[in-house]
Structure 1
C-alpha cells in the first residue's frame, strides 16, 4: 500500500512539473493554463510555485496528460524549436478552423488539436 501511495505521489509530481514546463516554454499565462486544465488562475499560480500538485484522480490531471502529449508531439514536429511551436499555436490553422492556442481551452479542442498533431506526425 505504501509503495502504491509513493508511486501515485510521484505521478502527481511528475505531471505537475511537466505541465509547468510546458506552460513556461509556450509562455502560457495563469489564465490560459487554468482554462486548459479547468483550474483557477490562483491554483495555477500555486502549481507553478510548487505549492500544489495535480491529483491523479482529477480531471485536471487527465487534461494535463493531453497537454504534455500535445507538447511532445509538437516539439518533435518543430525540432525542439519552442519559438516555432509558439508561432504554430498562435497562427490560424485552416484545418482546425481556428488558432490552436484558443482551441485547446476546451476539452474537445485540446483533444482535436492533439489528434491533429499526432496524425501529422504519423505522416512525417
Structure 2
C-alpha cells in the first residue's frame, strides 16, 4: 500500500508544483512585457523563487512519504519524480519567456546531454529534498 501512496504523492505534489511553476512563469511573462523589459534584480528574484519552488515542493512530497511510513529511498523517489515534473514544466515554458524578451539565445534545445544533466539535477534535488524531509520528520 505504501507504493500506491507514493504514486499519489508524486501525482498530487507534481501537479501542485507544476501549477505553481506555470503561474510563476506566467507572472514572468507579464512582467517581461513591460516597455522597459525586466530588470536584472527582478530576474534574480524570479530565479530565486523558481529555485525555492524546486526545493520546497519535492521536500513536502518527501515529508508526506516519510510520514506515511515509507523508507528513505521511497521518499527519495517521490522527491526526485516531483522535482522532474516541476523542472519539466519550467524547461517547457522557458522558450515562451525567451521569445517574449526578443531572443532565443540561451534556450535549451532537447538533446541527450540536456536530458542527462536534467536527470542528474533532479536526482540531486531529490536527495537534498529527502535529506531536508528527514530533518523535519
Q: How high is the TM-score relative to the length of structure 1?
A: 0.31
Q: Return the structure number with greater helix share.
A: 2
Q: Which has the larger Rg?
A: 2
Higher relative contact order (CA 8 A, sep 6+): 2
Q: How high is the TM-score relative to the length of structure 2?
A: 0.29
